[in-house]
């Protein structure tokens, strides 16, 4: 606790909190101390004011190019609950808001793959034309970076065009967690943390105010949270412009991180408090009530928050689709009541934290208080005993069903020298059996009490025994109900289904589908399930209890892009390993003669363009790379390997490793759909096992899912490979013997 006290003392002296101390404080400090420190910082920053505004959200589309693990809002084009507003529809919605008493329109949504910079600029222009008196806060840095990159202009030029259209400030979404390793897990397709920061840095330098956020409570660590805060604080030092920081709580419904669960309310309050203490150069900390709910938001005002966002008026679905507040809307009166409940002063602001003065403010602040009536003097009679005390109420309260004000009677004091009268107490009435006698239950109870008084130790032991029996009974019944004996479900085969169809089937079966991983196969539609756990069996039914989670692997919707590795100037085997680890494949092996080496990669191309050691080119996963490989003329041939019995991926790898190219891939009639292609194995190959062929020769591969066929032909292929290996060794021995004989003859 001494360490905590030292950190608290430095904070109270106004010193800046270090990252290491922030982690210590976050983990070990009592919650009440964090509340005190954060409130002190809050008072220094904004006094007792708590800000709100009158705002609405406009979410043009939930169709998004990116597919983040934590997102419940995103839909792909064609989904039944996907939407995309045209520019005319956006303008019509803005026109409907003309009569609304608002000061801000907040525009965010999915990164629509068909929207360019001109589309986003025109949206802002149309909204501003209908609501010229309202501030337009528009587009996260993720949206802005995408639209500017697609347009091929600089960040400054893109922001300038948006500002000219009427954009006044930028919201803080899309920051998530800045740690790049974590971003690769939860949002690999989005702009990087440096790109997010670059957009806000440019905006600040252009005089455009912004907000900043942090999505917490999923799979990040405390160290990653503090690193995130430190980067924001550093940017604010270098280029001030952040108005507010908004910790965004992760909600787990309807997304692929659901297994992570949600953090506790205590963690929410710790996050708010540390944010206020650490971010000493950002003026405001917002407790976004749509994310936290009303009760937690009210508590957050005692942990450093000085902003609760605005009225919203049921205009956002981002959090409600993830399990947050349904139909979020709050009146000004409700917002102000929440603030006053914790002893703070509600203040209406605009988008730039300027105070909004309204004509009705004075009148609303003055409450007419009726004068209290003169208390009526009530004369009390002297009670004969404490039990005979009489409660009295005013005449006006006689009609009330519950009497609230109880007046204690005044007890008459004895005169000087007079003996006080002894107080009389009534004996408790005996419990009657209805005929004037004591009931059987009362007699039994009295008997138990007498037994307990005579044998207290034995009675305690008996009570403990009965209590243990009761616990065992509860445990038995609980386990019987919890494990649901004799209530099992046969696991359906979800492989090959779309994730949407699988969730429908699982819901009918009282099962839950959880996506645990994704791959990318160019031949499969996005969202197709390729594996499940627990799986199904052909020989028996696999059964589970109702409510069981079925973990599935799906084919990704989008092919992510990765940097093409430079593999030239190394052996073919090394190059193949590096290419496969990076997620690429071989387009072709082109062999060219060389005087000095064999199976050495001279150069590489992708899509006809050469890749050099400094080439920084990204391509979709699964793209084919052409390798130009050297060989000495005496090593122009290579021996065909056995690939019968292998999967397609292993067969390809083996052929490339031995200097062959992959020719046609033919499936037999046992393969009825794309999913079965993934389980098919090679039953025949066009190159004879053990025979010599020219390097670069194409080998056709034949595949089947008929295990009996594949296994029988694999045995034949193994014998053929053994014979070829024996023949090779025999030829090698004969060649060695011939060479020794020739050497002996030359010596003689």
Q: Domain boundaries in the chain?
A: 2-352, 462-558, 561-737
Q: What is the pLDDT of residues 703-726, one digit of tens each?
A: 999 988 998 999 999 888 888 888
Report the C-alpha gap between 445 and 450 in whole angstroms: 9
Beta carbons within 10 angstroms of residue 206's beta carbon: 14
- Tokens representing 71 are 């997102």
Q: Fold for domain 561-737?
A: Trypsin Inhibitor V; Chain A (3.30.10)
Query: Is the pLDDT confidence value at 398 over 50?
Result: no
Query: Is the pLDDT confidence value at 526 over 60?
Result: yes
Tell me the pTM.
Answer: 0.52
**So what's the pLDDT on residue 736?**
83
The number of C-alpha atoms within 13 Å of 517 and in the hemisphere containing its C-beta is 7
**Which of 228-242, 472-486, 558-572, 576-590 is predicted least confidently?**
472-486
Question: Which single residue is written with the structure tokens 């979404």?
Answer: 173
**So what's the pLDDT on residue 169?**
96
pLDDT band, very low/low/confident/very high, at 379 (cuts 50, 70, 90): very low
In CATH, the number for domain 2-352 is 3.20.20.70
**So what's the pLDDT on residue 601?**
93
Beta carbons within 10 angstroms of residue 456's beta carbon: 10
- Tokens representing 434 are 């209805």
Q: What is the pLDDT of residues 37-86, one digit of tens each?
A: 999 999 999 999 999 999 999 999 999 988 888 888 888 888 888 889 99
**So what's the pLDDT on residue 439?**
63
Q: What is the pLDDT of residues 232-256, one digit of tens each?
A: 999 999 999 999 999 999 988 887 8
Span 306-328, average pLDDT:
77
Q: Fold for domain 462-558?
A: Trypsin Inhibitor V; Chain A (3.30.10)
Q: Which helix (H) or strand (E) holds 517?
A: strand 512-519
- Name residues whose C-beta falls within 8 Å of residue 545's C-beta, 6 or more positions apart in sequence: 483, 484, 487, 488, 489
Query: Is the pLDDT confidence value at 371 over 80?
Result: no
- Tokens representing 470 are 């009761």
**So what's the pLDDT on residue 481?**
64
The percent of residues above 90 in pLDDT, for the chain, comes to: 51
Domain 2-352 and domain 561-737 have a common topology = no
How distant, in Å, are the alpha carbons of 635, 666, 681, 702, 704 from that of 686? 22, 11, 15, 8, 15
- Strands of 595-723 (E only): list them: 600-606, 609-610, 618-620, 624-631, 637-639, 661-667, 681-685, 692-694, 698-704
- Mean pLDDT of all residues belonging to the chain: 84
């Amino acid at each position: 606790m001494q360490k905590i006290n030292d950190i608290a003392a430095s904070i109270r002296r106004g010193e800046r909190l270090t990252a290491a101390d922030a982690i210590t404080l976050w983990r070990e400090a009592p919650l009440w101390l964090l509340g005190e420190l954060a409130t002190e910082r809050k008072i220094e920053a904004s006094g007792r004011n708590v800000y709100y505004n009158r705002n609405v959200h406009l979410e043009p589309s939930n169709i998004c190019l990116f597919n983040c693990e934590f997102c419940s809002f995103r839909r792909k084009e064609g989904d039944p609950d996907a939407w995309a507003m045209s520019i005319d529809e956006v303008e019509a919605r803005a026109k409907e808001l003309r009569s609304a008493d608002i000061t801000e329109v907040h525009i965010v949504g999915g990164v629509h793959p068909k929207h360019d910079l001109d589309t986003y600029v025109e949206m802002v222009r149309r909204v501003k034309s209908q609501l010229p008196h309202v501030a337009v806060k528009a587009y996260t840095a993720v949206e802005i970076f995408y639209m500017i990159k697609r347009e091929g202009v600089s960040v400054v030029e893109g922001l300038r065009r948006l500002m000219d259209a009427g954009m006044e400030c930028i919201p803080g979404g899309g920051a998530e967690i800045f740690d790049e390793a974590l971003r690769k897990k939860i949002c690999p397709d989005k702009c990087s943390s440096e790109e997010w920061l670059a957009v806000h840095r440019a905006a600040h330098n252009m005089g455009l105010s912004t907000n900043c956020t942090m999505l917490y409570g999923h799979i990040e660590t405390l160290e990653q949270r503090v690193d995130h805060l430190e980067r924001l604080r550093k940017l604010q030092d270098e280029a001030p412009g952040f108005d507010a920081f908004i910790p965004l709580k992760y909600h787990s419904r309807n997304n692929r991180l659901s297994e992570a669960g949600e953090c506790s309310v205590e963690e929410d309050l710790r996050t708010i408090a540390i944010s206020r203490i650490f971010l000493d150069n950002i003026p405001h900390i917002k407790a976004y009530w749509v994310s936290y709910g009303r009760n937690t938001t009210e508590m957050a005002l005692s942990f450093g928050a000085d902003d609760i966002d605005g009225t919203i008026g049921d205009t956002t679905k981002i959090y409600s689709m993830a399990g947050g507040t349904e139909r979020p809307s709050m009146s000004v009166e409700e917002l102000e009541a929440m603030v006053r409940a914790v002893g703070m002063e509600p203040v209406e602001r605009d988008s730039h934290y300027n105070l909004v003065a309204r004509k009705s403010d004075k009148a609303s602040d003055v409450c007419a208080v009726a004068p209290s009536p003169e208390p009526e003097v009530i004369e009390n009679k002297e009670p004969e005993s404490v039990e005979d005390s009489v409660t009295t109420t005013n005449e006006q309260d006689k009609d009330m069903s519950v009497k609230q004000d109880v007046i204690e009677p005044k007890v008459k004091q004895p005169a000087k020298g007079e003996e006080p009268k002894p107080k009389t107490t009534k004996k408790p009435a005996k419990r009657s059996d209805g005929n004037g006698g004591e009931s059987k239950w009362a007699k039994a109870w009295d008997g138990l009490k007498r037994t307990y008084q005579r044998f207290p130790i034995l009675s305690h032991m008996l009570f403990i025994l009965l209590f243990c029996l009761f616990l065992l009974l509860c445990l038995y019944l609980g386990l019987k109900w919890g494990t649901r004996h004799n209530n099992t479900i046969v696991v359906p085969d979800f492989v090959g289904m779309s994730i949407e169809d699988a969730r429908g089937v699982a819901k009918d079966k009282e099962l839950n589908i959880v996506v645990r991983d994704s791959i990318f196969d160019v031949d499969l539609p996005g969202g197709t399930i390729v594996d499940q756990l627990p799986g199904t069996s052909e020989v028996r039914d696999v059964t589970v209890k109702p409510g069981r989670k079925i973990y599935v692997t799906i084919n990704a919707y989008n092919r992510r892009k990765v940097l093409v590795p430079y593999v030239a100037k190394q052996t073919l085997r090394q190059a193949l390993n590096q290419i496969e680890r990076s997620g690429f494949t071989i387009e072709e092996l082109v062999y060219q003669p060389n005087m000095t080496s064999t199976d050495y990669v001279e150069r590489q191309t992708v899509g006809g363009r050469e890749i050099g050691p400094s080439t920084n080119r990204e391509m979709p996963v699964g793209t084919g790379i052409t390798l130009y490989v050297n060989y000495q003329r005496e090593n122009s041939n290579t021996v065909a390997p056995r690939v019968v019995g292998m999967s397609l991926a292993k067969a390809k790898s083996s052929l490339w490793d031995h200097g062959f190219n992959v020719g046609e891939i033919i499936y037999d009639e046992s393969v009825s759909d794309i999913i079965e292609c993934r389980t098919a194995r090679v039953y025949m190959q066009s190159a004879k096992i053990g025979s010599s062929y020219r390097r670069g020769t194409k080998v056709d591969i034949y595949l089947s899912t008929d295990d009996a066929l594949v296994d029988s032909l694999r045995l034949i292929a193994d014998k053929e490979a053994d014979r070829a290996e024996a023949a090779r060794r025999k030829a090698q021995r004969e060649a060695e013997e011939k060479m020794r004989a020739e050497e002996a003859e030359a010596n003689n």
